[in-house]
Structure 1
Amino acid sequence: MDAEVIVVGAGPTGMMLAGELRLSGVDVIVLERLEKRSGESRGLGFTARTMEVFDQRGLLPRFGDIDISGLGHFGGIPIDFGLLDGAHQAAKSVPQSQTETVLEEWVTELGGDIRRGHEVVLVENNGDLVAVEVGTPTGVRRLTARYLVGCDGGRSTIRKAAGFDFPGTAATMEMYLADVKGLDLEPRMIGETLPGGMVMVGPLPGGVTRLIVCERGTPPRQRTEPPEYDEVAAAWKRLTGDDISHGEPVWVSAFGDATRQVTEYRRGNVFLAGDAAHIHLPAGGQGMNTGIQDAVNLGWKLAAVLRDRAREPLLDTYHDERHPVGRRLLMNTQAQGLLFLGGPETQPLRDVFAELVGYEEVSRHLAGMVSGLEIHYDFGGGGNPLLGRRMPNLELDGTPLVTSSTQALRGGRGVLLDLEDNPRLRRRAAGWGDRVDIVTSRPRDAKRSNLPEGTAAVLVRPDGYVAWAAPGSHDDLPTVLRRWFGEPR
């Protein structure tokens, strides 16, 4: 084999996956058809859950000063995300280009093999190995690996070549997205509809203005190249009456409201993640964030099978857990599209929705959906409400090297938190000590820990989700450790 895992696509999803694999020492090659980063920033900012994911790996400081906000929206209707109990608020105005740079530097430091100007043209999956034919600057090469992961976007070559079904609905309209210099425009939030459509204006660093233009009744076009800025300026003038043709475009793109999801995230030794697995209207900035979380869910599982004696069926849980998340993503983005892209006929719907979000319970539910903090995996039941949910950040007392549950996840390993100094518990988990870190400590402030009362121990998977808790889990600890981490030493 040329590598244990080949990742196709060097965007945020592919780079996050490569970093997760390298944390466990897995040999990985990243193939990217572009010879250099595009510099485009379709994704902008991080949801609260992605902020937690980056914090788990110690990546947040690499982004420098981040503008955070507890304000958000659902379909253009303002929502207070500060109602949530997450350790972080959402990050605003972090360009995708910066995210790609940070993650690529991380992967490079970890020893990842990133090959640009390499385009996959053929996939062969024989059940034991996966082979790809790759067009390179020096000719066609054949590479083999144990597993192949397509992180190559909405037009995924891997998805098509490996025969994944991709049902859904085609685009019904076309919208423009542009970053432009030299404009002096008042900010416009999503949701401020106009008679002919919708426009959005948002300031970005460096004197750049982000524009989104949606002109109702504009049919989607089959484009092979990005639109010209003149098209954007003309649509803007028709909608607002203002002339922005003097602006200097940094980049321009067109997108639609197509909504599709593959029926399976795994076919044999081939997996899909991010936009390769699900495309949707970019409402609420969820697409890139969901892809990053797909990668974190899959990465440790591949590493566990390749390195840590975990059994092959563990990889099926990637589809079982992430496909429902993708399905809810499509549902909520379609709902948001109806709210902020509909014409006058949907104004009564917007009015009713605006009344509903005035109720704290409704706002909390919608904010949890968009932020990713509501995700709940089914781990087979149990009485502890933490099971299957993200581990809240828990400040720990008496451990100079590990000061919080989040910091304990920096190495990408499982973590068993022994909160009552229980030697018997530690002995039962000792056989997995080569892949699960055992941390004995107490919460620094039990009243503010967000832990259910009486929680004595918690097993956290490398992706930050609680697999077992005492009391309250139906299965005993060794059974759960075998399920997620394989046989003991």
Structure 2
Amino acid sequence: MTGTVVIAGAGPVGLFLASELRLAGVEAVVLERSPKANEHTIGGTLHARTADLFDQRGIMDTLRAGKPPLWPRLHFASYWLDLEPYMEDEYSLLLPQQYTEQMLEAHAASLGVDIRRGHTLTGLTQDADGVTVTVEGDDGAYELQAAYLVGADGADSAVLKLADFDVRETGPRWYGLLADIASVEGEWHAGNYPGGQFAVIRSPHEGGPSRIMTLEFHEGLDVPPADQPVSLDEVIASTERITGRTPVLGEVQWLHRYSYRTREAENYRDGRVFVVGDAAHLHVAFAGHGLNTGLHDAANLGWKLAAVLAGRATDALLDTYDEERRPVGHRACVFTQSQLSLLTQGEHFDVLRQLFTDLVKLPEVNRHLITTVTDVRYAVDGAEKDDAHPLLGRPVPNELVRTADGKPTALAEALKAGRGALVDLTGGSAGLPATEGRDGHLDRVSLAPAEGVGAVALLVRPDGFVAWAATAETGTDGLESELRRWFGEAAA
């Protein structure tokens, strides 16, 4: 069996997963059917949790160099939520997706990832020893042998279809268009219309294009076939159906169509084949949850694949990917699909919107809607108990990763290298065991006590999540079992 992992899809999720594997010394081949990188903005929201993740890997500064603006607002079905009380932890960055992709591709290339553009995965077979994939490349068809295959190939995932994953589709079909146009005459109200949603976003740069965004979601949609190119007439027709007005448009610079239903894979793993991102959980693009959820899929899966390939963990570790990430993907799907329901026009839905107008004013509801998808807690052993430490199963606090003046701590150095950490927060008196038998994938870190953390020691996984937490009262109870579960047996 080869130790290579093949990844279908060179979007942000596939590129980040490949980088995670290379950090751990695993060979990664990325197959991308498009011959060139994305040059246009499909999405543009990067969540705070993803910025934290990129900070842990030491790659966020590249994106911050462009000074992306903070977006202090978030909408739920066109109800604006109040982000101000939570901006420290729940902000969003307005960052065109192609810039994120460019940074991640450069990061992957610097780590030695084999990125093959214009190479399309056309077939796969798997057995107990590995996966064989058939690829159509520049010079014809060829085969690749791999230990594992990951589908990061988006809404039209070939991996999802070829591996015959069971999927569940729910809710209405949606049909949307993005159009970058040199000019759009007149003033246009952005928001809800009887026929759907419509917006014109003017370029902040003089002479820059305006973007038209349409979204229709009702029964009986007549959606053009996927292989039919998008036309200006299609954009005009969609605008007329939604708004009742005929737009006067200038020269077209770029057009994009998307049309699906909410879809979830019933399991994110089928033997040696995995799905991540939109291939695993597809929903309408509200608030950037698809991109950000997918990037965290990659962070969760990468180090686990590496641990199994290195012989440090059993196959059971890979099952925790589905156990931990599928509930998060499902939550994102429910969150976005419920917005489609609230946006639907009609007497019964108008009554529902009247009720929701009052609910969204309540601080508890406001916070719940802001954090429903982004506030992740994995059900690691004990996390579901009422007396569990509040950090268990959650991302490690940022104050342990960087000092008050922004300098990286020893924990940051471990996470940047894709390793986990056993963290002593007492200055050396926590009584933690040595980690020499797990050198290379687990660091021993000593930090000063941090106010508000409420722990004397932590076990932090390579994806930045806390797998074990101790107080002065609990001591090292349960540590050995968690070390074995996430980091394998110590070498003799």
TM-score for both structures, normalised by structure 2? 0.90
1:178 equivalenced with 2:162 (yes/no): no
For residues 185-334 of structure 1, the aligned pairs below 5 Å read 189=190, 192-203=191-202, 206=205, 207-215=208-216, 219-221=221-223, 222-240=225-243, 242-256=245-259, 258-307=261-310, 309-334=312-337
Bigger CA drift: 43-52 or 110-119? 43-52
Structure 1 residue runs of 5 or longer lacking an equivalent are none
For 2:379 and 2:47, the matched residues in 1 are separated by 23
Structure 2 residue runs of 5 or longer lacking an equivalent are none
For residues 367-378 of structure 1, the aligned pairs below 5 Å read 367-370=370-373, 372=374, 374-378=375-379
The one of 352, 358, 376 equivalent to 1:349 is: 352
For 1:462 and 1:205, the matched residues in 2 are separated by 39
Partner amino acid, structure 2, of 1:299: G
Bigger CA drift: 174-183 or 403-412? 403-412
Partner amino acid, structure 2, of 1:388: G
Bigger CA drift: 80-89 or 384-393? 80-89
Bigger CA drift: 349-358 or 209-218? 209-218
Bigger CA drift: 198-207 or 147-156? 198-207
SS for the counterpart of 2:61 is: helix
- CA 108–187 in structure 1, closer or farther in 2 if over 3 Å, else same: farther
For 2:16 and 2:345, the matched residues in 1 are separated by 35
1:420 equivalenced with 2:426 (yes/no): yes
Contact between 1:31 and 1:116, CA under 8 Å: does it hold in 2? yes
For 2:404 and 2:18, the matched residues in 1 are separated by 34
- CA 149–230 in structure 1, closer or farther in 2 if over 3 Å, else same: same
Contact between 1:166 and 1:261, CA under 8 Å: does it hold in 2? yes
Aligned length: 478
For residues 92-111 of structure 1, the aligned pairs below 5 Å read 92=94, 94-111=95-112
Contact between 1:177 and 1:210, CA under 8 Å: does it hold in 2? yes
- CA 397–258 in structure 1, closer or farther in 2 if over 3 Å, else same: closer
Q: Deviations over 1:203-256 (max 9, x none)?
A: 456523332223556614233134212221233245445553423333222223
1:8 equivalenced with 2:8 (yes/no): yes
- CA 473–213 in structure 1, closer or farther in 2 if over 3 Å, else same: farther
RCO higher in 1 or 2 (8 Å CA, sep ≥ 6)?
A: 1
SS for the counterpart of 1:258 is: strand
Partner amino acid, structure 2, of 1:321: E
Counterpart position of 1:469: 469
Aligned-pair CA distance for 1:109: 0.5
For residues 425-464 of structure 1, the aligned pairs below 5 Å read 425-443=431-449, 446=451, 450-451=452-453, 453=454, 455-464=455-464
Counterpart position of 2:44: 44
Contact between 1:378 and 1:388, CA under 8 Å: does it hold in 2? yes
- CA 302–28 in structure 1, closer or farther in 2 if over 3 Å, else same: same
The one of 382, 389, 413 equivalent to 1:384 is: 389
Bigger CA drift: 200-209 or 327-336? 200-209
The one of 67, 70, 80 equivalent to 2:69 is: 67
Bigger CA drift: 298-307 or 341-350? 341-350
Contact between 2:313 and 2:488, CA under 8 Å: does it hold in 1? yes
For 1:2 and 1:30, the matched residues in 2 are separated by 15
For 1:289 and 1:381, the matched residues in 2 are separated by 27
Q: Deviations over 1:282-319 (max 9, x none)?
A: 12221111111111110111111123612221000000
Q: Deviations over 1:390-432 (max 9, x none)?
A: 1220156699984375565211111222110235634344433
